[in-house]
Amino acid sequence: MPKNVSVILHWNTDYAEIPRKELPVVVEKSYEPMVAAIEDWRDGTICFNITGHTTEYLQVNYPELVDRIKALVKDNTVEMLACGYSHPILPLLPRERVKQQLEDHIKQIKKVYGKIPTGIWPPELAVSPSVLQQVKEVGIEWTAIDYEHFLFSQFFGNDRNPFEKRDETLTEIMVKAYWSKGLKRLFSYLKAKRLLAKASLEQADPLQRVLIKDTESIKAYLSSVSWSYSTMFAVGGNVPIYSAKEHLKFIKKVEAPILALYATDIEFFGYRGMGPDPAPPRTLIDFLKELRKDSIFTISPTQVSEDQWPTESKYLSTGSWAPDKSFRIWTDSEDNKEFFRRADEIYQILRIRKWPKTLMNKIEPFLRTMENSDPRGWAPLPERKHEAYTAMNRIFEILEKS
């Protein structure tokens, strides 16, 4: 039986598929009830990763919710994790912008929530050894990493090599189940259930270290899609093939110092989900209460004692938590190719001008919007794409006049 579990909730008001006009509904159905449930609970530590733009939105529209989160941070019921300020794909940015995005978000967390983060949830769990070097340089002690990405790094050398063939990832399997109809959908979910259970048993060792350069490394906390999906389906009670009771029994079979019980979007509780209906936010907290009855505690990876982290470090390739673990979902469409061509022009101009402070202050809000991953990845709404192109065109206008 595990001694501890962790929960990481990622908040993002730039969500690719959520219209701006829907954000009050997201707050009403997901953010506020989750905070209320945690306030009633206060029996451990849950991690929040709130993007810079999300905090800005909440400060303007829901300042009382920000105050409630600050109170939870103060008593260590919530731990804030760093991110890129505007949720960019960090390995696709110039090094200068990676540094700026990280530092700006850390400063915001300290200013708004009162504590300096020691862990990071990289946007889309997109990382590279070079980015992790910069992450460590800004004072971060541990980083979340996608579990399958980590495993692929150990044995899969080049996904463009036709002589190397990988199995389907869990996300690819879940996507097939999601789009299936009728009886085929039932059988697809039954298959997914079996594979999730198998993967969960194999992905029950989230504490790792990954190499940066030479023998230097950083702590890596492996986020498991199988555990996140299984938890989401089980506690919601809306997937007949898997109940919270079954999930609890399954967890008790696992021997581990800590399990990554849930680590993904908070919006999957209350607002949207991979199952027929989203799980109500309170069901997640109620499940943590059931675990506590069996002396399974909810903690943050930061609270894991040093002697439980491995001493051996392993290689981590460049990748993300996308279905195929690459960046192609953010780079390969015609829109995205054009977008990166123009973004590179902007970065070249700024590099030639040596990133002048006055100019950077003027264009920073537009750079953040341009660099946000959501207009490019998954299924972005036209309005999200328009926001990014508008920001880009305004940057060009400013550069031409300066």
Domain locations in the chain?
Answer: 4-308, 332-401
- Give the pairing of strands 4-11 and 297-298: parallel
- Residue 241 has what pLDDT? 65
Predicted pLDDT at 62: 99
As a whole number of angstroms, the distance between CA 179 and CA 189 comes to 11
- Predicted TM-score (pTM) of the model is 0.94
Mean pLDDT for each consecutive 10-residue tract of the chain (402 residues)?
A: 97 96 98 99 99 99 99 99 99 98 99 99 98 98 97 79 73 73 70 75 93 97 92 79 87 94 97 81 97 98 98 96 94 96 98 98 98 94 97 98 93
Q: What is the pLDDT of residue 180?
A: 74
| 393: three-class secondary structure by DSSP | helix
Tell me the two tokens of residue 139: 């004072």
Cα angle, residue 145 at apex, residues 71 and 65 outer, rounded to 5°: 20
* Contact yes or no for 7/303 (Cβ under 8 A): no
Q: Which architecture does CATH list for 4-308?
A: Alpha-Beta Barrel (3.20)
